[in-house]
Amino acid sequence: MESRLDIRQLSLQDIQQYVVTWKEPVFRAKQIYEWLWKKSCYSFDEMTNLSLTLREKLNDNFLIQSLVLDAAQYSSDGTIKSRFILHDSSKIEAVLIPVKEENRFTVCVSTQVGCSLTCSFCATGQMKRVRNLEASEIYDQYVYVNQQCLENFGHPLTNVVYMGMGEPLLTYSNTMKSIELLTSDMGLGISPKRITISTAGIAKMIEKLADDNPKVRLALSLHAADDVKRNTIMPINEQNNLDVLMKALKVFYQKTGNKISYEYIAFADFNDSIQDAKNLVSLCTSFPVTVNIIEYNPVEGVQLKKSSEDNINKFAKYLRDHDVMVTVRRSRGKDIDAACGQLANK
């Protein structure tokens, strides 16, 4: 049985303690830390500015547990879905979404193995939550998909969305640590403005995010603009109703000034009427918000169907006519089950 520790579970201060114990100069700890998080190094042997003796000590005491690519699927629209195997044999998925005409290359990362929220329209919601991902496992998705992006499109990633498997705010500390690793000077140095956290709506954690203010953008998976309908498809709404969520989002905006968006999947004959649009407008008055209308992607065993293009256009027009900023997002990667709500390790 493996007795070595995963060094990426240690803080810089933890590594410093080991270095001092080994009677090495304390600055070696910073070098090791930067190899791990700034240079995304997965082998102690590659840490060439460390002595051979120190590298041997690192190898004797630690290991680096990284993701292993299990399968990659390529969509006709350029989207790439990758399934990874974790150190405990669990599997997760990440998606590369290229929009070459806008020079935008986004990675959608997962934060949990499975999900506990049971949203009725979501394939991931039909899976049980196995565990939260470590910050390093979220970080690794970015590193791997960024390399994938460079190899396939000759361009680095431009954006990160926490919209994959799981609820980011239910693994809050790991989500925040991963953002630190992605954005800090000792990590990859990405601008937090390029990162969006998507939540099904955990009010108290939205307010905590406002207090901690990592300067990221926030997206609410809304999908219905009244409590009765939202309760039907998103059980989390029973403990975090729309009134509570709107108050939390208002606090978030007042404290941070960071951008907020609503993700709104249009379902036929459920949430795509003009009355639904009126209800949605009323949720867009307390702070600036952008609404992203998303076409539904079929999930096996789910009765909901996607709204017609005509209904989506009428819905979007009503919002625009009432001064709401709207984007209609056409699904990408749906031919490989990589679109919104389809991630289920298939």
By annotation, the residues acting in catalysis are 93, 340
Query: What are the Cα distances from residue 102, in Å, to 150, 182, 217, 219, 279?
Result: 16, 23, 19, 21, 32
SS3 221: strand
Residue with tokens 């939260």: 132
CB count within 10 Å of CB 160 equals: 26
Report residue 215 CA to chain centroid gap: 15
Q: Which two tokens stand for residue 31?
A: 């070098």
Note the helical H segments in the chain: 12-21, 27-37, 52-61, 135-153, 172-183, 203-212, 227-233, 242-256, 274-282, 309-321
**Distance separating alpha carbons of residues 90 and 42, to the nearest angstrom:** 20
The two structure tokens encoding residue 137: 């496992």
The β-bridge relationship of strands 112-113 and 131-132 is: antiparallel
- Integer Cα distance of 126 and 341 in angstroms: 10
